[in-house]
Amino acid sequence: MLKDKSVAITGSANGIGRYIAHRFAEEGAKVAILDIDEAALAKTHSELLDFGGQAIAIPTNVRSEETIRDAMAEVAEKFGSIDILINDAGIVPHFMWGGPRWPAIRDMDESFFWNVMGVNLGGTFLCSKHATPYMEQAGGGHIVNLYGGGGKSPAGALTYAVSKEAIVHFTDYHAEEVRDANICVVAISPGAAIATENAPEEARSRMPGPEFAGDRFLLASQVPMEMSGRLLDLDESGKLFVVTRNP
């Protein structure tokens, strides 16, 4: 089902995005990895080439519209289309890794708030904006947005949680805009707080790694239009279901 499909994945030099890129490459997809970390991007690109398929790496700042526009154009030119977009790039508060709490709102610098919102929500907006026309031209596609949560207490997770809740609503509204173009837009989380390869060894010893996500992102990139606009999760049998949320 995914062989020769074209997929663009943001935030894919490390962590969950890197894992997702590996899984798509294993399935025979043509994989474009987009990330601001150029050294890690080159390393992951080399790993993807080992799968024997097509892969390209594009240094990308998801806060720059010009960069995103050029990146999506390059993916479409190199691969002939953009069939799937995975919006993974984000700034994450790694509290579970033992990192410091983010400041409460009363102590937060305005630039910090808008940087998180700009990467998490703004990056999802810009990448979706500039991938959508190529999907329309191709007669359809899938956009998968990364969801995540955070506890209310102790303070610190508000900015991250707000950006991710906004992505759920963004998914809902964008899905309706592009439904007639046969573009399916969904949101899904990795299933747990993840310790990536950049986490401290102590955190990696007690937390699941990126592989915990399993095939949820691959499955989300193939769901029918009936699921478009919804937040999805994976049940114990390995099937996706729509998360029921309070109005």
Residue 97 is classified by DSSP as G
Please state the rounded mean pLDDT for residues 185-201: 87
CATH 3.40.50.720 assigned to domain 6-242? The reply is yes
Q: Are 94 and 151 in contact (CB under 8 A)?
A: no
Q: How confident is the model at residue 3 (pLDDT cuts 50, 70, 90)?
A: very high
Average pLDDT score over the chain: 93
- Which residue is it, tokens 């508000």? 158
d(CA 45, CA 29): 14
147 is catalytic: no
Task: Using the CB atoms, write b or e for 170-191: b if 16+ within 10 Å.
Answer: bbbebbeebeeeebbbbbbbbe
What confidence tens digit (pLDDT) does each residue in 101-148 have?
A: 899 999 999 999 999 999 999 999 999 999 999 999 999 999 999 998
For residue 8, count CB atoms less than 10 angstroms from its CB and return exposed for 0-12, middle for 13-18, buried for 19 or more. Answer: buried
Q: Which of 19, 147, 160, 173 is catalytic?
A: 160
**Of residues 83 and 207, more confidently modeled:** 83
Is pLDDT at 150 greater than 90 in this prediction? no
Q: Domain coordinates of the chain in residue numbers?
A: 6-242
pTM of the model: 0.95
Query: 25-58, pLDDT tens digit by residue?
Result: 999 999 999 999 999 999 999 999 999 999 999 9
Predicted pLDDT at 153: 65
Residue 19: per-residue pLDDT: 96
- CB contact set of 226 (below 8 Å; sequence gap of 6+): none
